[in-house]
């Protein structure tokens, strides 16, 4: 409807602006506090509805709708993702969180159009808490998100009440099978998570290069290759070469290959047995006239006699 369209246009403007803007200077403590109350992308208050929050592999928490719309704008309109979202390739890279909401949380936010680090400090009542230990989700206590379940609990609950955490996961889900992802990590822990994400991306790129090499008969096609400008013959026997390569699974050689194949194919080479006159007549079915014959022709009368 009109409302959703206006909302989408507003978000689109924010995405465009975010790609050029820089992060404002903030007090370190305010910045730390804001991460537990605001979306890491839009900086708007974290939503309190079920399934409204997601987390990336770096432990950053987002409003699901904001990230989803940013990815949609990239896919449909080609708008580049802001730097803070560049590592997110799709919704599959995000974990939907199961948060325990504090009673009455979210009512004050309805009166606010926006939130920043400063008013987070003034309004520091936690929106969420650990469902087992009761500790507030406000940056003063360490929390973990369990993947793939999405359950968010405090470190104390995982240490002192494992059975209770296991019960919350539900029947058939084992706590030992869950990966513990720190929420809003900092310092050395954040650096290690970033390195792990970069290593994962490097392994995927290496796997793709290996697959492309096999697909292209040993010809390197990945971006950044030292041989990326080396010319290769498009169609064997034509002598027509190009330095273009296949990028991201999309074949960019298609048009050149077609042109090369067209130049290679000659109608006269496929003419039936006979004298030269017969071969020329056959070839004329597929080719245009030369300059000499065009002078003897009139409009729409290539095969007609002038006397008609």
> Does the pLDDT at position 248 exceed 50?
no
Question: Which of 63-67, 148-152, 175-179, 239-243 is predicted with the least confidence, judged by mean pLDDT?
Answer: 239-243
Query: What average pLDDT does this structure show over 8-28?
Result: 55
Q: What is the pLDDT of residue 37?
A: 93
Q: What is the pLDDT of residue 33?
A: 84
Q: What is the pLDDT of residue 247?
A: 44
Greater confidence, 274 or 241? Answer: 274
Query: What average pLDDT does this structure show over 106-119?
Result: 50
Angle subtended at Cα 16 by Cα 247 and Cα 79, rounded to the nearest 5 degrees: 25
Torsion of CA 55, 61, 65, 70, to 10 degrees: -80
Q: Which residue has the tokens 């496929």?
A: 270
pLDDT band at residue 306 using 50, 70 and 90 as cut-offs:
very low
Mean pLDDT of the residues in the chain: 75
Question: Which CA distances in Å does 167 have to 86, 131, 148, 170?
Answer: 36, 12, 16, 6
Q: What is the pLDDT of residue 259?
A: 61
pLDDT band at residue 13 using 50, 70 and 90 as cut-offs:
low
Q: Residue 206 belongs to what H/E stretch?
A: helix 187-215
Report whether 204 contacts 70 (CB < 8 A).
no
3 state SS of 247: strand
Give CA 292 to chain center in angstroms.
58
Give CA 114 to chain center in angstroms.
27
Q: List beta partners, residue 95.
A: 55
Q: How far apart are CA 33 and CA 202, in angstroms?
A: 33
**121-130, 190-199, 215-224 — most confident range:** 190-199
pLDDT band at residue 57 using 50, 70 and 90 as cut-offs:
very high
Angle subtended at Cα 201 by Cα 249 and Cα 251, rounded to the nearest 5 degrees: 10
């Amino acid at each position: 409807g009109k409302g959703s369209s206006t909302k989408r246009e507003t978000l689109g403007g924010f995405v465009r602006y975010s790609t050029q803007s820089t992060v404002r200077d903030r007090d370190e403590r305010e910045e730390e506090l804001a991460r537990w109350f605001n979306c890491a992308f839009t900086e708007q208050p974290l939503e309190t509805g079920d399934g409204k929050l997601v987390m990336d592999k770096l432990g950053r928490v987002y409003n699901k709708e904001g990230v989803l719309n940013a990815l949609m704008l990239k896919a449909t309109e080609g708008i580049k993702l802001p730097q803070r979202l560049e590592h997110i390739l799709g919704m599959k890279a995000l974990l939907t969180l199961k948060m325990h909401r504090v009673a009455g949380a979210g009512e004050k936010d309805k009166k606010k159009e926006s939130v920043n680090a400063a008013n987070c400090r003034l309004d520091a009542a936690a929106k969420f808490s650990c469902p087992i230990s009761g500790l507030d989700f406000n940056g003063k206590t360490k929390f973990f998100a369990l993947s793939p379940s999405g359950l968010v609990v405090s470190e104390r609950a995982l240490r002192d009440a494992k059975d209770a955490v296991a019960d919350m996961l539900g029947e058939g889900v084992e706590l030992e099978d869950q990966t513990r992802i720190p929420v809003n990590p900092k310092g050395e822990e954040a650096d290690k998570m970033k390195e792990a994400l970069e290593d994962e991306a490097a392994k995927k790129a290496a796997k793709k290069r290996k697959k492309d090499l096999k697909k292209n008969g040993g010809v390197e096609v990945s971006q950044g290759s030292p041989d990326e400008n080396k010319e290769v013959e498009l169609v064997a026997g034509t002598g027509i070469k190009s330095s273009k390569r296949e990028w991201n699974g999309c074949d960019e050689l298609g048009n050149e290959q077609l042109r090369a194949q067209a130049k290679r194919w000659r109608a006269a080479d496929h003419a039936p047995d006979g004298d030269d006159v017969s071969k020329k007549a056959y070839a004329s079915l597929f080719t245009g006239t030369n300059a000499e014959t065009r002078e003897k022709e009139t409009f729409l009368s290539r095969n007609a006699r002038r006397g008609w």
